Chain A
Amino acid sequence: MRRLGDLEAEIMDRLWTWNRPATVREVVDDINKTRPVAYTTVMTVTNILYNKGWLLRGKQGRAWLYTPVRSREAYAAALMEDGLGESKDRPAALVHFVENMSEEEQAALRKALRSVGRQAKAES
């Protein structure tokens, strides 16, 4: 059985891909190309997404038009950076790292980086 979360993902995926306001009817029709789904189910889940703060909506005639609050990339960046405080001084940390390596360790790192570089060249 499909979970509610799967349908949520399907709806969000379409709205992000289309990149324009869309009605529940459009989403239902698009999902119906691959599998049958009831209009009321999609409407309910879209409403859940709206209430959770993932979607904005505005009335056009008698139908609601839905848009994602933020782009997929913005959400992804927020997720990735969630709790960023931990290594704020990232470039400094890297410099510090290389400075603190012994000569043998630096040579080993250079060698490792070179061997991966060669692999990449051989592949392309």
Chain B
Amino acid sequence: MNAAPALVGYTAAVGFVAPHLMLRGSWQHRAPALAAAVWHTLAISFSIGATLTAYNLTMPAEHLHADLVGLLHACGVDVGTAEPDPGMAERLAVGVPAAIGMALGASFAFHAVRARRVRTRHRKALDLVGRHSARLSATVLPYDTPAAYCLPGRNPRIVLSDAAVRELSPEQLAAVLEHEQAHIAGRHHLFLAAMEAFHSVFRWLPLARHAREQTALLLEMVADDRALRSHSHEVLATAMYEMASARTPKGALAAAGQTVLIRLQRILGPREAAHPALWGSVAAVVVAMPLLPLLVACPPGLG
């Protein structure tokens, strides 16, 4: 049996249809960590599906070279129209999937390393310019708008403007610090780097675009929820409102910015936790999704 059509269909569904289904409904904002996991699962599932599709289409035994050339043309790759010889097809069968895997790995390494270099440079300057506050365990910079951000990674820093220290109440400040701490403790920057990497390999893909945007927003919500564990909704919402006027450095996770609008509405709106049944079924999907393309490619009954 040739699994290629099924694989193509599955991969296309994950890449083009799934993101639109994911953007609908309201459960995502009630269970942001779970929703972020689903986006990552979709990305992994798409990557595996694309790799297996490439392998299936390039298998020398399947006489599918024409399909492959068509597919590569669709991706904007010109492979020429030379007669296929079996040796080359075999090399392609291994080479194309390997190239996809390597592109993803290299892209992740590139984004992670570049972000770390930016953070390191930023941190060195911070340590010269800012004053470390032992009481807040944060670096305070002289700046006239209330603002906060964190530099995650191996040697993390939470940065506050002195205006934030001056103008926010102690409770508000504590909520903001808790939010930034959640980003650092949760290693959120790695998830963002992964989505950035996925996006730069599959730039044209709706899944990649939405997954990158949604992950950033959902991780902010995860950090909000962490702050809400020990602080009231009023305190966090007003602190965010104060800081919505501030701006934050690129490559840093921010407690202010565009996404603050959606997050404020969420914090102030009626709260309802995700239903356990929903939680369970979505979690099951998260586990099963990456395995699906493998099942399609190698049906157990036909092995």
Measuring CB to CB, which residues of chain A are less than 8 angstroms from any residue of chain B?
Answer: 5, 8-9, 12, 54, 72-73, 75-77, 79-87, 90, 93-94, 96-97, 100-101, 104-105, 108-109, 111-113, 115-116, 119-120, 123
Does B127 lie within 8 Å of A112, measured CB to CB?
no
14 pairs from A and B in contact (CB 8 Å cutoff) = A5-B124, A73-B143, A75-B129, A76-B143, A79-B141, A80-B147, A82-B122, A83-B248, A90-B247, A93-B244, A94-B244, A104-B269, A105-B265, A116-B234
The answer to whether B230 has its CB under 8 Å from any CB of chain A is no
- Residues in B with CB closer than 8 Å to A85 are 250
Size category, B interface: 35 or more
- Residues in A with CB closer than 8 Å to B171 are 119
Question: A8–B127 Cα gap in the complex (Å)?
Answer: 9
What distance in Å separates the Cβ of A87 from its nearest Cβ neighbour in chain B?
5
The answer to whether B130 has its CB under 8 Å from any CB of chain A is yes
Does A94 lie within 8 Å of B238, measured CB to CB?
no
Does B238 lie within 8 Å of A113, measured CB to CB?
yes
The answer to whether B185 has its CB under 8 Å from any CB of chain A is no
What distance in Å separates the Cβ of A66 from its nearest Cβ neighbour in chain B?
14
What distance in Å separates the Cβ of A40 from its nearest Cβ neighbour in chain B?
21
Which residue on chain B has the smallest CB distance to residue A115? B234
- Residues in B with CB closer than 8 Å to A12 are 128-129
- Name the 8 nearest CB pairs between A and B, nearest first: A83-B250, A82-B249, A112-B234, A76-B141, A97-B261, A108-B268, A75-B129, A116-B238
The answer to whether B257 has its CB under 8 Å from any CB of chain A is yes
Could you count the A-B residue pairs with CB atoms below 8 Å apart for me: how many are there?
A: 106
Does A79 lie within 8 Å of B129, measured CB to CB?
yes
Which residue on chain B has the smallest CB distance to residue A96? B261
- Residues in A with CB closer than 8 Å to B245 are 90, 94
- Residues in B with CB closer than 8 Å to A81 are 247, 249
The answer to whether B176 has its CB under 8 Å from any CB of chain A is no
Does A79 lie within 8 Å of B268, measured CB to CB?
no
- Residues in B with CB closer than 8 Å to A109 are 237, 241, 264, 268
Within the complex, which residue of B161, B169, B172, B241 is in contact with A80, where a contact is CB–CB below 8 Å? Answer: B161
- Residues in B with CB closer than 8 Å to A73 are 142-143
The answer to whether B65 has its CB under 8 Å from any CB of chain A is no
- Residues in B with CB closer than 8 Å to A105 are 265, 268-269
The answer to whether B258 has its CB under 8 Å from any CB of chain A is yes
B121-145 at interface with A (beta carbon < 8 Å): 122, 124-130, 141-143
